[in-house]
Amino acid sequence: MGKILKKSVRIAAIGAGYFSRFHYDGWRRIEGAEVVALAVRHPERAQRLAAEFGVPKVYGDVAQMLDETKPDLIDIITPPDSHLEYVRMGAERGLPMICQKPLARTLEEARELVEVAEGAGATLAVHENFRFMPWYQEAYRLIQNGRFGSLHTIAFRLRPGDGQGPRAYLERQPYFQKMERFLVHETAIHFIDTFRFLMGEVKRVFAWLRRMNPVIAGEDAGYILFDFVNGSSGIFDGNRLNDHVTDYPLRTMGEMWLEGSAGALRLDGSGRLWWRPHRGLEEEHKYTWKNINFGGDCTYNMEIHIFSHFTAGTPLQNDGRAYLRNLEIEEAVYRSAAEGRWVDV
């Protein structure tokens, strides 16, 4: 039920929204991966997507798709209010699953979702793709190689520039406007995971959040301070209204600074990395990556990681149980903002 451990993987996907095309494109480019069907509530909307990416069959009923196609893996690419239902369907059939984030509407529901999968012995991976962006993968490699000396600080300034005015998010992901928890639950959760990937475990957080665009239900700006177990620190400074210096604000969604005793690494809005040794001059740090699709092809990179786990048994970084830690930190962030104090995680 858990690992597939064979050379090819037959995938049944659920969803045909804005982000799903990055999933389908990634699977199409992996040798041995095949999306055999996709299911949506309104199948007529998915026919063009299926034709574009070579998916042979479209269903309007998820259970029927799973029973008829008998896939090796389910890819759930839908909004969070549907995730528990679909994970139950996969668990009942003992099928491994990938589930988009936000994993669930609440921490309690996310825990139930993970327990449903675990109770059936079904592997659950979370579609947390930001840590698979090539600039973070390269930063991690440099950390592991000791480039920073004693690593002590991470900062990210989020400025995607897509949240202004009454039509904010409507053309791409309209449900964003109705999310009562938005900036942290939908967006900063990526950086909670990425900060942990680069800096280690979080000990406590302090947050100040606000809503700047009155047409949306949730917060869209704020600051989060991180105190890590190893003594390092971090800051997330985000608003979705302003942009940053780049030709495409959604590529990196902002700028990062990573600092240690030996120097500092800066990520710019073009996906370039700049290294400045302590008391030295800043120079571009060259590395190889693909400037295609979303976030430096991060969805494809993540799918390669998951495909390797299910076919070769390599360790899975983003399993459901491990991902719950991100959601516990998210809950602490909201509690800190509500109570105006540091909150232990």
Q: How far is CA 76 from CA 14, 87, 253, in A?
A: 5, 8, 24
Distance (Å, whole) CA 154 – CA 235: 7
Q: Which two tokens stand for residue 298?
A: 């991060």
Q: Please identify, in words, the CATH class of the domain defined by 131-295+326-344.
A: alpha beta
Number of residues in the chain: 345
- DSSP letters, 18-83, are TTHHHHHHHHHTSTTEEEEEEE-SSGGGTHHHHHHHT---EES-HHHHHHHH--SEEEE-S-GGGH
Distance (Å, whole) CA 75 – CA 149: 40
Give SS3 for 312: helix
Task: State which CATH number among 3.30.1490.100, 3.30.470.20, 3.40.50.720, 3.20.20.70 fits the domain covering 9-127.
Answer: 3.40.50.720
Q: Where in the chain is the domain with CATH 3.30.360.10?
A: 131-295+326-344
- DSSP letters, 109-170, are HHHHHHHHHHHTT--EEEE--GGGSHHHHHHHHHHHTTTTSSEEEEEEEE------STTTTT
Closest CA to 250 of 136, 172, 176, 304: 172
34 close to 59: Cβ distance less than 8 angstroms: no
Q: List the pLDDT tens digit at each of the 345 positions of the chain.
A: 455 566 789 999 999 988 999 999 999 999 999 999 999 987 777 898 999 999 999 999 999 999 999 999 999 999 999 999 999 999 999 999 999 999 999 999 999 999 999 999 999 999 999 999 999 999 999 999 999 999 999 999 999 999 999 999 988 889 899 999 999 999 999 999 999 999 999 999 999 999 999 999 999 999 999 999 999 999 999 999 999 999 999 999 999 999 999 999 999 999 999 999 999 999 999 999 999 999 999 999 999 999 999 899 999 999 999 999 999 999 999 999 999 999 999
Distance (Å, whole) CA 124 – CA 334: 26
Q: Which two tokens stand for residue 159?
A: 């400025």
Residues whose CB falls within 8 Å of the CB of residue 54, separated by 6 or more in sequence, listed in order:
28, 35
Give SS3 for 308: helix
pTM given for the model = 0.94
254 close to 263: Cβ distance less than 8 angstroms: no
Tens of pLDDT, residues 99-156: 999 999 999 999 999 999 999 999 999 999 999 999 999 999 999 999 999 999 999 9
Q: Where in the chain is the domain with CATH 3.40.50.720?
A: 9-127
Q: Edge-to-edge strands of the sheet including 233-239?
A: 283-285, 273-277, 263-267, 254-260, 151-158, 233-239, 221-228, 202-210, 343-344
Q: How far is CA 130 from CA 43, 52, 118, 119, 177, in A?
A: 29, 25, 25, 28, 22
